[in-house]
Amino acid sequence: MLLSVHLITYNNEQYIEDTLQSILKQIVDFDYEIVVGDDCSTDRTLEIINTYATKHPNLFKIKKNETQLGILRNFKTTLDRCKGTYVFDIAGDDKLKAIDALQKMVNILHNDASLGFVDTGFDSFNVESKTTMVFKNQCILNSSKENYIEAVLLGEIIPIGHCYRKEYLYKYVDFETYIKMNIAIEDYPILVDMIMNTNFERINESLHTYTVHLNSYSHQQNIEEQIFQSNQMNDLFNFFSEKYSFPEKLKNKFSNCHYKTLLYYARVSLNGEMAKTVYRKIKHKSLKDRIRFLGSQYSFFRILFSLRRKLFFF
């Protein structure tokens, strides 16, 4: 088996059919499988997948977890069932845009045994506004290798359209440690371990569609969840900073961005104490930072920001 399409799902009823159809439309000259790990969906996601599996019984390997595992553990347990030399990871609300996307990614990996992964371009579709940002990651795909690596380490790469060499995922990604750390993020630690230990390639073409909607894990509107994710990213960055001896300039850049993000969340949630704590830690304060801090501290600004919260993002 040359390729496993690694598909983890959770309550993707609204999008999963488009995802599956985009996979089944692929034109390839090799055998592949679709390995599904459903993390206890409560909607019709699994029912829809099973309908397609009935029509294509030799393609699908489906498992519904007995208990909810979370994104990282679901990724790993689904990966353990993959038989392919290469693993293309796709979420249950995204889709392949080009009918030769799988072929192009596999060709590149197949021609260079040193490559750990291939990254590709994607369009970003916003469900709420019904707008599409064409080839959203074109700039970073066309940047220098050094700038691309820095973007990965800073957590600035959206993991859409990545195809991995499975052997290197097992060799270099420390899944066991991240699971013990109770990390709820799968893409960032995988990409960091891979990019620090293997070569990579980029396809300068938009082959996928990334779906942005309020119910996706990465775009949840719950402030507490957003703060939790930001703090997990900070924990992971600090872990990797020691593991790979990141330079001080990179550490300062991440730290400053992290605290600026937390300041925004403090302002939105009107958490004055949290704002005081993180504001002191920001080394290079902008006018926007000062306005956000005031908005978390004083009643006039609190009222103003509460009224404008749905209209402005600052």
Same domain, 194 and 54: yes
Tell me the per-residue pLDDT of 231-276, one tens digit each, with 9 for 90 and over: 999 999 999 999 999 999 999 999 999 999 999 999 888 888 999 9
- 274 inside domain: yes
Q: What is the pLDDT of residue 314?
A: 47
Residues 232 and 199 in one domain: no
> How many CA atoms lie within 13 Å of 95's alpha carbon, on the beta-carbon side?
18
**Does residue 205 sit in the same domain as residue 302?**
no
Residue type, 166: K
- End position of a domain, from candidates 215, 244, 263: 215
Are 203 and 65 contained in the same domain? yes
Q: Are residues 231 and 208 in the same domain?
A: no
266 and 210, same structural domain?
Answer: no
% of the chain residues with pLDDT over 90: 82
CATH code for the domain of 70: 3.90.550.10
Which of the residues in the chain have pLDDT under 70? Answer: 215-221, 298-314
pLDDT for position 295: 77
**pLDDT given for residue 215 in this prediction:** 67
Residues 92 and 139 in one domain: yes
Provide the residue range defining the domain that includes 105.
3-215
Q: What is the four-CA torsion angle of 274, 217, 154, 89, rounded to 10 degrees? A: 170
Yes or no: say if 211 and 111 are a contact pair by the CB < 8 Å rule. Answer: no
Does 54 share its domain with 91? yes
The pLDDT value given to residue 310: 47
Residue pLDDT, tens place only, 20-30: 999 999 999 99
Provide the domain count of the chain: 2
Would 313 be classed as within a structural domain? no
Q: Are residues 166 and 283 in the same domain?
A: no
Do residues 99 and 178 share a domain? yes
125 and 15 fall within a common domain = yes
DSSP-assigned states of every residue in 15-61: THHHHHHHHHT---SS-EEEEEEE---SSSHHHHHHHHHHH-TTTEE
pLDDT of residue 51: 98
Of 215, 230, 260, which residue is a domain's last? Answer: 215
Residue 249 lies in a domain: yes
* 159 is a domain residue: yes
8 A C-beta contact, residue 37 and residue 78: yes
pTM value? Answer: 0.91
Q: Radius of gyration over alpha carbons of the chain, in Å? A: 21
Structure tokens at 292: 């956000």
* In a shared domain, residues 95 and 113: yes
Burial of 83 from C-beta contacts in 10 A (0-12 / 13-18 / 19+): middle
> What are the residues whose beta carbons fall under 8 Å from the beta carbon of 195, sequence distance 6 or more?
116, 117, 149, 152, 153
